Structure 1
Amino acid sequence: MNIQQIEEALSISDTALRCQRVLDEVQPVLRQLMDDFKNKHEAEVPKLLDYSVNTYEVTLRTTMHDARNPNYAEQKRNSDIGKKAWIELADKSYSFQTEFWVLNLGFYGPERKCKIVLPTNFYPLWEAIRTKGNEKEFAKVIESLPEEIEIQTSDKDIFLNKDELIPFLQKCVSEKKKPWFYFGTFIDFDNLVSSEQILDLMWTTWNRMKPIKDYLEQETSRHALSLRMLHALHEHQDPVSLKLYGRTYEIKFEEVFKNKSYQRRQNFGIYDKGQLVTDGALAGYRREPNEAVGIFVNGAGFIFSNLRNLHGDGCVKWKITKSFRHHKKESEDVNKATQQRAMEALEVHGFNLEGNTFTVGTWDNVNLQFVEPSGEIKRRFIAAAVLFAESTGMINLPKDAQISESNVMITDETEAELEGELFEHDFDLSSIISNIQGSGLTYSQAIIRDFHLNLVCLEDKHFVILNGISGTGKTKLCLLYANAVYGKPLDAVNPYLKVIPVRPDWTDSTSLFGYYSALEKRYVRTPFLNAVLQAIQEGKPMFIVLDEMNLARVEYYLSDYLSAIESRQSVRLHTEDHITDVPKELHIPNNLYVIGTINVDETTHSISDKVLDRAFVMTLSDVDLDQFWELVGTKYRTVLQSEWVLMKQLHEKLSHFDLHFGYRTMNEIIRKLYANFQLPEEIRLNKAEAVDRVIAEKVLPKIRGDERVEPLLEQLVEWTNSSFGDHSVSLAHLKRMKGELDRYGATQFWR
């Protein structure tokens, strides 16, 4: 081994040449060292020969080819790839893609060090400090490490003393950082003499790392066991019957999808003879930091359970402990009343209660499976969650529901670490993009990034207007973004998000800020004012969406708000001393985010320059149908392929005239076509007839104009005739519209 030659290869400035030299000269040395290590010590550690070998070679080879490709050469010019080389042993014997990195050997050029380390990501160490008990046991592990074992973190590549590790981990949790950690030996290049020296150091380090290696190996085993439980739950997708208060419902499950890197989500709907009663989701948390299950109903989380509570010997009952929290003054009384209602509801529905706990199933740690069918466990989970939602007043079975956003049930020690009532905001764009793109809706990273920058670039003013054709997801983007800031899925109930539909009769600022009623001797509050007061009181980001804001003249009803954010002066509300729940003057807080959505048609007003000067205006009119089609459910793509081709052809023709439709329209069209497919064959419309009718019902009513739409009508007449035949419903409408255009110079769908 020639360390000078290795360092020279790692230091080459040209990226392509550096990667080539490292592949040819450095990686073979590492491979030989690892092979020699395994062969030398297989007698002491037989598992060495069973471990898989991971290397840096694929990345090196890809970067080398990209650096030589004119299309990518410039962006690879200053790459750091190839300035290090490594090889590692990994134990891949665990189930469900769980991997334990046993030993990593590498040469690191910028640091001029050879590293013999055991690497780990943040999550096993986060679990190590999750509870006081865990932290106490982990402290013993760290204390038992020899002084020769060094600890490095990828956060600025700093080294930590043993007594600094746990405080540093706690700081990472607080700051929402998740760095990697490396335990082992770090040798300067100047101190490297021979291959034999490295082999001896590898063996010495291997033995010295035993305490942390044993802990991480055990943690990997626990993680894999919990993932087996999650898989057993998510694997079941068949409908389940649910009986509540004497009425039988059906629970229908959708496909499991990846919500975030470490989260899987399975949405479900509860139906009463085909009518959706409420919806929800079974969320599987693979690392939060431990593995857990969460049950959501109507957007709110009602059950959270740590799967590690099922670990143990033999059969372990899955017990859920529940409690309620309410954040108003009368919280104690409300908690007691809600708790009593929930307990009574569980007992009436056959749950076995032990104090404040109930049982949903049993895990067999010997046979590694649930004793009960997975569908039965999910039924019990969902039944309990629905009963809790009913107890809080969020839903009512079968009575009218009265939604209460302030009651949320908390069940288990993991709630505080998961969702529950904790709403912590984070404007990290990477996290927001990940959350939004995991929603299954069609938004490009560029749109999300631009929307984010428009909202946050000014510290004291957050005002964005979203323009575009109907159905392109303007309002949905607002909902997604607000929930992503709080780390919530699209359908979560977010008390810091208010969608306020604008009415055509809004003519002054009282529509937003309310007014003092001299007749009633009280201040009449509005949803907008309530949201502003909540933002002031709680200090958290509050998102207000003024939906279809140009149905009224924006400069009329928004004038006080625009003046206040520009001048930083207060808005005068009233002068009455006896009014105590509303201040006399209102200062617009910096944590208020106002977003308006607008459609431009004959029913709306234009936006004045006064408003435009104070807002960022984004246009969402591009519709990416290919991406939309990829994101729809497999069940639709499987049976509606020919219908999809026709709708895409129509969309392309309309888009040339800026008369194309948006995602909402396409989604509703697909759902109707699929509903037709599910009908018995003897009464079902054939595919072409179904598409023809849905075009006449959802697309043609929006087509209107003067002689400029004549080429479009001619194209559509020809296309519908060839696609659907002479008896086409759409063709008849189009011929009539073409005739009206020829006679009157203008046309519309409506007669």
Structure 2
Amino acid sequence: MIQATKLVDIMNIEDTTLRNQRILDEVQPLARRIMDSFIAKYSERDSYLLQLKIHTHEQTIKTTIADSKNPKYAEKKRHYGNKGFVELIDEKLFESPLYILKLEFHLESREIRMMMSSDFYPFWVFSKKTQVHELERMVDDLHNDLKIFTIEETKNFIDKNEFIETIANYIRNKRKPTIHIGKILTLGGVIEEEQLIEQLWDTYQKLTPVRSLLEKEAVEHSQSLLLMKDIQNNVEPFHINLFSKTYEVRFEEEVKKVKTNVYKQLFYIYDQDQLITEGHIGYFTRDPHESIGIIINKHGYIFSQIRKLLSEESYNWFIKKSYRDHGRHDENQQYQEQTIEELKNHHFRLNESSAFFVGTFEEATKSFTEPITKIKERLITAAGIFADVKGFLTFPKNAVYHIEIPEEDEEIESAVEEYSSSFDFTNIMDLVDQSGFTFSLDIIRDFYLNLTSLDDKHFVILSGISGTGKTQLCRVFANAVYGLDYSEENPYLKIVPVRPDWMDATSLFGYYSSFEKRYMRTEFLDMLLQANEEKDKPHFIVLDEMNLARVEYYLSDYLSAVESRKPIQLHNIDDLKDVPKTIEIPHNFYVIGTINVDETTHSISDKVLDRSFVMTLSDVDFSSFWERLEDKFKKAVEMEWDLLLEIHLNLTKYDLHFGYRTMNEMIRKLYKNSMLPEELRMEPLVALDRVVAEKVIPKIRGDERITNLLETLSSLFSEKFKESSQSYKHIERMREELDRYGSTQFWR
């Protein structure tokens, strides 16, 4: 017998720790007991139940209890703890679990839920024209007892006759909710456990059409992921021939998670030992199908679905490159023709649709007929050609080289990049967390609020010591708004370095040259014109090191226009077509300035400060930095790390500390030294002495207030590096100069 009132009363406990402990002690054992009884009673009728793994909510509850006792997380976890559940999961497929049946006691809504849950992607796949008939069959076979819903509160159920259209609406609105299908019972009064067990069996049977559909999709998804895994695991370096030269391609073994359902594997293109450019293979595990992309120098050139390779006994993989820049038909056609010509010059096999051959995949063996190295070679070679044709990367050109291609052909459609934006803070924070940078919640939240709190004005200034990631923060945030990885090119972000000779507004807005009879446009103006054309998308402009020139001189027109909402006069030439006479600052235009404060920069006037939010990024979290550092670097600098932190701590007391950039560059030099042959490399402490002397000490300067700092560093360097070290000698010389002149710096 279940006393529902006793369970529901748990929600009256305000203390997070006590509430979750009651759920752990009372609700979870109840759910587990009922599920165990269900399996024991009905597994003889359906042995499949014995193959399922039992997953419970217990570990999550324990984590919540621990976090609720930690002041750092207590506020965030205050409302956690409103349910307990047990779920049966089929994990036989590679990275494609099927959530077969969940029994959930949702205390807050006073409901008992028996349901099967799925992420949105399988229904997206089956909503396609070629497969929608299977989704229609599932809907027709779905019992009327079962509810379809997407939100935790279950206030609004989806009518099964409207389910397919609802899926289409979610796709149009770029929403991907989890879909739940099952029974909802009231949690009230006295409930017989045996009745719940029977209801579970009834629900399980009625979910058969849903289970069949999701299992079919999961099999295809799993096979596609296995193929991706095979491609990822082959990291053997190889050579590619591009135009007049042969280059070596080397891969990182680690495949990094960029965001949910997106991974990347870095590769580097070398000429001898000189790095020419870097790129990555993007693995898109759900979009809604599985695809791979080849990105070089931050631009994507090839995107192709993987699941198609599994659709035939022997599939000939062809990819067509299409150029589809809006409003540039003639230019697109020119690129297309040049691409086809270069593919022919490189002896790629093309079919009648000018798609190029990649390889043949055999369904029986689940493998390519050629080594995967050859497949990757063709993909990266083609991407290199496309990069050169588009002008984003230029390779030397004299001769061409032969690439062997089998004699099979078939057309395959190409993918086109689309950009959609969202200022949903939760999604932005998740993407920032996955970026590999060490920006805290406090920094990202403050930056988000400063940029978005005013509807008609978006102007933020980032101040702080060099190397704390001011420019990186702008890029990672803007890319997160568009759901992009930090390394990807964002057409709605422009970073403009400020020059010391900027004296007026023409530095930003350009001017009409009567000598050349044309308007001299700037990057700032180009982005502003684009923002006025695409007002549904946010546009970010970063004025990097904005106080190298006097900000109030060159930014005055922008500040006045934002304040008055009046257009800016650009010119008065009647027959000038490409630039309007006036331009407004639209509400989707976000301006961010980064500043450093030293003897080479100008102070910021009150006129500018009054119209902006000013953030200071000087705090450095090297604990998080270390956690995110690749293992190969950790192993190389494990011994030196503590000493670097000690030096940093001493410098921090005098606001002379260094940022992430300096730390990263020092670590990379130490790692590179450790990779040299043993007889040629520096001893670890000698190498550390060198990087400290080269990257840290040159920034130390001051008057008698840094006397104690120099004494501390002198003792530290004498102990760790010895008095013959470069670091010790520099510090001792600076101490002598401080005694003699009253101030000192690294530079003589």
TM-score after normalising by structure 2? 0.91
Q: What's the secondary structure of 1:89's corresponding residue?
A: strand
Q: What's the secondary structure of 1:691's corresponding residue?
A: helix
Matched, 1:183 2:184: no
Q: CA deviation at 1:412?
A: 6.0
Match of 2:299 in 1: 300
Equivalent residue in structure 2 for 1:599, among 596, 600, 619: 596
Give, in whole Å, the separation in 2 of the partners of 1:70 and 1:323: 53
Match of 2:441 in 1: 445
Matched, 1:423 2:419: yes
Match of 2:2 in 1: 2
Q: CA deviation at 1:550?
A: 0.7
Q: What's the secondary structure of 1:489's corresponding residue?
A: coil
| Residue ranges of structure 1 left out of the alignment (5+ in a row) | 401-410
Task: Give yes or no for contact 1:3–1:189 (8 Å, CA) kept in 2.
Answer: no
Match of 2:279 in 1: 280
Q: CA deviation at 1:526?
A: 2.1
Task: Give yes or no for contact 1:551–1:604 (8 Å, CA) kept in 2.
Answer: yes
Match of 2:402 in 1: none
Match of 1:81 in 2: 81
Deviations 1:671-713 (A, max 9, x none): 2222222333333222222222222222222222221222222
Match of 1:378 in 2: 376
Task: Give yes or no for contact 2:24–2:61 (8 Å, CA) kept in 1.
Answer: yes
Q: CA deviation at 1:77?
A: 9.7
Task: Give yes or no for contact 1:237–1:253 (8 Å, CA) kept in 2.
Answer: yes
| Residue ranges of structure 2 left out of the alignment (5+ in a row) | 399-410
Change (3 A) 1:742 1:556: same
Deviations 1:22-60 (A, max 9, x none): 555554443343333323332331111111112233444
Count the aligned residue pairs.
731
Q: CA deviation at 1:313?
A: 5.1
Match of 1:530 in 2: 526
Equivalent residue in structure 2 for 1:340, among 331, 337, 349: 337
Give, in whole Å, the separation in 2 of the partners of 1:148 and 1:749: 79
Q: What's the secondary structure of 2:130's corresponding residue?
A: helix
Change (3 A) 1:71 1:628: closer
Equivalent residue in structure 2 for 1:396, among 390, 394, 397: 394
Range with bigger deviation, 319-328 or 498-507: 319-328
Q: CA deviation at 1:346?
A: 2.6
Change (3 A) 1:62 1:313: same
Matched, 1:476 2:505: no
Match of 1:100 in 2: 98
Matched, 1:460 2:456: yes
Equivalent residue in structure 2 for 1:250, among 223, 248, 251: 248
After TM superposition, the structure 1 = structure 2 runs for residues 200-279 of structure 1, keeping only pairs within 5 Å, are 200-254=198-252, 255-279=254-278
Change (3 A) 1:214 1:508: same
Q: Which amino acid aligns with 2:630?
A: G
Match of 1:30 in 2: 31
Q: Which amino acid aligns with 1:430?
A: T
Q: Which amino acid aligns with 1:148?
A: D
After TM superposition, the structure 1 = structure 2 runs for residues 568-717 of structure 1, keeping only pairs within 5 Å, are 568-717=565-714
Change (3 A) 1:524 1:73: closer
Q: What's the secondary structure of 1:159's corresponding residue?
A: coil
Range with bigger deviation, 506-515 or 111-120: 111-120
Task: Give yes or no for contact 1:478–1:595 (8 Å, CA) kept in 2.
Answer: yes
Deviations 1:82-109 (A, max 9, x none): 4x4332221111223x211111223334
Query: RMSD between aligned alpha carbons?
Result: 2.7
Change (3 A) 1:375 1:576: same
Give, in whole Å, the separation in 2 of the partners of 1:640 and 1:237: 25
Task: Give yes or no for contact 1:155–1:180 (8 Å, CA) kept in 2.
Answer: no
Q: CA deviation at 1:335?
A: 2.9
Q: CA deviation at 1:431?
A: 1.8
Q: Which amino acid aligns with 2:306?
A: L
Deviations 1:300-337 (A, max 9, x none): 111111121022354433332332223234x1x33333
Give, in whole Å, the separation in 1 of the partners of 2:734 and 2:61: 63
Q: CA deviation at 1:528?
A: 1.6
Give, in whole Å, the separation in 1 of the partners of 2:320 and 2:294: 14
Q: What's the secondary structure of 1:116's corresponding residue?
A: strand
Change (3 A) 1:636 1:163: same
Matched, 1:506 2:502: yes
Give, in whole Å, the separation in 1 of the partners of 2:235 and 2:477: 30
Q: Which amino acid aligns with 2:334?
A: A
Give, in whole Å, the separation in 2 of the partners of 1:85 and 1:352: 58
Change (3 A) 1:398 1:85: same
Q: Which amino acid aligns with 2:415?
A: E
Matched, 1:494 2:490: yes
Give, in whole Å, the separation in 2 of the partners of 1:652 and 1:412: 57
Matched, 1:290 2:289: yes
Q: Which amino acid aligns with 1:678?
A: M
Give, in whole Å, the separation in 2 of the partners of 1:676 and 1:76: 44
Q: What's the secondary structure of 2:710's corresponding residue?
A: helix
Give, in whole Å, the separation in 2 of the partners of 1:425 and 1:70: 35
Equivalent residue in structure 2 for 1:116, among 114, 120, 127: 114
Matched, 1:353 2:350: yes
Task: Give yes or no for contact 1:304–1:412 (8 Å, CA) kept in 2.
Answer: no
Q: Which amino acid aligns with 2:491?
A: P
Change (3 A) 1:192 1:414: farther
Change (3 A) 1:238 1:649: farther
Give, in whole Å, the separation in 1 of the partners of 2:43 and 2:430: 43
Task: Give yes or no for contact 1:6–1:25 (8 Å, CA) kept in 2.
Answer: no
Give, in whole Å, the separation in 2 of the partners of 1:645 and 1:564: 51
Matched, 1:436 2:401: no
Deviations 1:578-608 (A, max 9, x none): 3332222221111111111111011111111
Deviations 1:523-560 (A, max 9, x none): 32222222211211222322111111111111111111
Range with bigger deviation, 644-653 or 262-271: 644-653
Task: Give yes or no for contact 1:442–1:624 (8 Å, CA) kept in 2.
Answer: yes
Q: CA deviation at 1:299?
A: 0.9
Q: CA deviation at 1:65?
A: 7.1
Give, in whole Å, the separation in 1 of the partners of 2:7 and 2:665: 62
Give, in whole Å, the separation in 1 of the partners of 2:72 and 2:676: 52
Q: CA deviation at 1:567?
A: 1.5
Range with bigger deviation, 43-52 or 176-185: 176-185
Q: CA deviation at 1:4?
A: 4.3
Task: Give yes or no for contact 2:8–2:108 (8 Å, CA) kept in 1.
Answer: no
Give, in whole Å, the separation in 1 of the partners of 2:74 and 2:602: 48
Give, in whole Å, the separation in 2 of the partners of 1:633 and 1:80: 33
Match of 1:403 in 2: none
Q: Which amino acid aligns with 1:198?
A: L
Change (3 A) 1:555 1:376: same
Q: Alignment identity in percent?
A: 46
Q: CA deviation at 1:292?
A: 1.4
Q: What's the secondary structure of 2:447's corresponding residue?
A: helix
TM-score after normalising by structure 1? 0.91
